[in-house]
Structure 1
Amino acid sequence: MKKQLLAVAVMTAATVAATTAQAEQFWADNSVSVLYGSDYKVDGPKFDDGNSLTTYTLEHVSGHSWGGLFYFMDRHVGDDGYTSTYSEFSPKFTLASMEGGVVKNVNLAFTVESSSGGFDNYLYGVGADLAIPGMNFASATVYYAQNDDIEDDYQLTLTYGWSAGSFNIDGYIDYSTETDDSEANLHFNPQITYDLAPMIGKTFAKVKVGIEYSYWGNKYGIDGVDQNAISALLKVHL
Structure 2
Amino acid sequence: MFSRKSSIIGLALLAAGMTAQAADWSDTSIGYRYGTKFAEPFNNNDIKKNIFSLTHASGYKYGSNYFNVDMLMSDNNDSPTVNGVPNKQSQAHEAYIVYRHTLDFGKIAGKSLAIGPFRGFGFTAGFDYNNKSGDGYQSKKRMLVAGPTVMMNVPGFLNISLLQLWESNEPATAAFRKQGRYDYDPHPMLNLAWGIPLGDSGFSFSGYANFIAAKGNNENVVQTKTKAETNIDMALLYDFSGIIGAQKNTFKAGVGYQYWKNKFGNDHNGAAGDGAFAKTPMLRAEYHF
Match of 1:124 among 128, 143, 146: 146
Residue aligning to 2:196:
162
- Structure 2 SS opposite 1:50: strand
Task: Give the Å deviation of 1:68.
Answer: 0.3
How many correspondences in the alignment? 231
The 8 Å contact of residues 204 and 236 in structure 1, kept in 2 or not, is answered as: no
Q: How well do the aligned residues superpose, as a CA RMSD in angstroms? A: 2.2
Amino acid in structure 1 at the alignment position of 2:149: G
Cα displacement string for residues 159-182 of structure 1 (whole angstroms, at most 9, x for unaligned residues): 122223311111111000123222
- Structure 1 SS opposite 2:24: strand
Residue aligning to 2:5:
4
Residue aligning to 2:284:
233
Task: Give the Å deviation of 1:187.
Answer: 0.8
Confirm whether residue 114 of structure 1 aligns to residue 129 of structure 2: yes
In the alignment, the residues of structure 2 paired with residue 10 and residue 112 of structure 1 have an alpha-carbon distance, to the nearest angstrom, of 10
Confirm whether residue 136 of structure 1 aligns to residue 156 of structure 2: yes
Unaligned runs of 5+ in 2: 77-90, 107-111, 132-138, 169-182, 218-225, 269-275
Match of 1:214 among 233, 258, 263: 258
Residue aligning to 2:105:
95
Give the alignment of 1:1-238 within 5 angstroms: 2-12=3-13, 16=16, 20=20, 23-42=21-40, 47-80=43-76, 81-96=91-106, 97-116=112-131, 117-132=139-154, 135-148=155-168, 149-163=183-197, 164-165=199-200, 166-181=202-217, 182-202=226-246, 205-224=249-268, 225-238=276-289
Larger Rg, first or second structure (1 or 2) = 2
In the alignment, the residues of structure 2 paired with residue 150 and residue 105 of structure 1 have an alpha-carbon distance, to the nearest angstrom, of 32
Unaligned runs of 5+ in 1: none
In the alignment, the residues of structure 2 paired with residue 167 and residue 216 of structure 1 have an alpha-carbon distance, to the nearest angstrom, of 25
In the alignment, the residues of structure 1 paired with residue 48 and residue 14 of structure 2 have an alpha-carbon distance, to the nearest angstrom, of 40
In the alignment, the residues of structure 1 paired with residue 288 and residue 254 of structure 2 have an alpha-carbon distance, to the nearest angstrom, of 14
- Structure 2 SS opposite 1:147: strand
In the alignment, the residues of structure 1 paired with residue 64 and residue 188 of structure 2 have an alpha-carbon distance, to the nearest angstrom, of 22
Task: Give the Å deviation of 1:24.
Answer: 4.7
In the alignment, the residues of structure 2 paired with residue 79 and residue 17 of structure 1 have an alpha-carbon distance, to the nearest angstrom, of 37
Amino acid in structure 2 at the alignment position of 1:129: M
The 8 Å contact of residues 204 and 237 in structure 1, kept in 2 or not, is answered as: no
The 8 Å contact of residues 186 and 217 in structure 1, kept in 2 or not, is answered as: yes
Alignment CA distance shift 1:102-1:52 (3 Å): same
In the alignment, the residues of structure 2 paired with residue 4 and residue 233 of structure 1 have an alpha-carbon distance, to the nearest angstrom, of 39
Tell me: higher relative CO, structure 1 or 2? Use CA pairs within 8 A at least 6 residues apart: 2
- Structure 1 SS opposite 2:264: helix
Alignment CA distance shift 1:201-1:11 (3 Å): closer
Alignment CA distance shift 1:17-1:127 (3 Å): closer
Cα displacement string for residues 3-51 of structure 1 (whole angstroms, at most 9, x for unaligned residues): 121233355456x38983xx352211010011110111118xx723211
Higher strand share: 1
- Structure 1 SS opposite 2:7: helix
The 8 Å contact of residues 189 and 210 in structure 2, kept in 1 or not, is answered as: yes
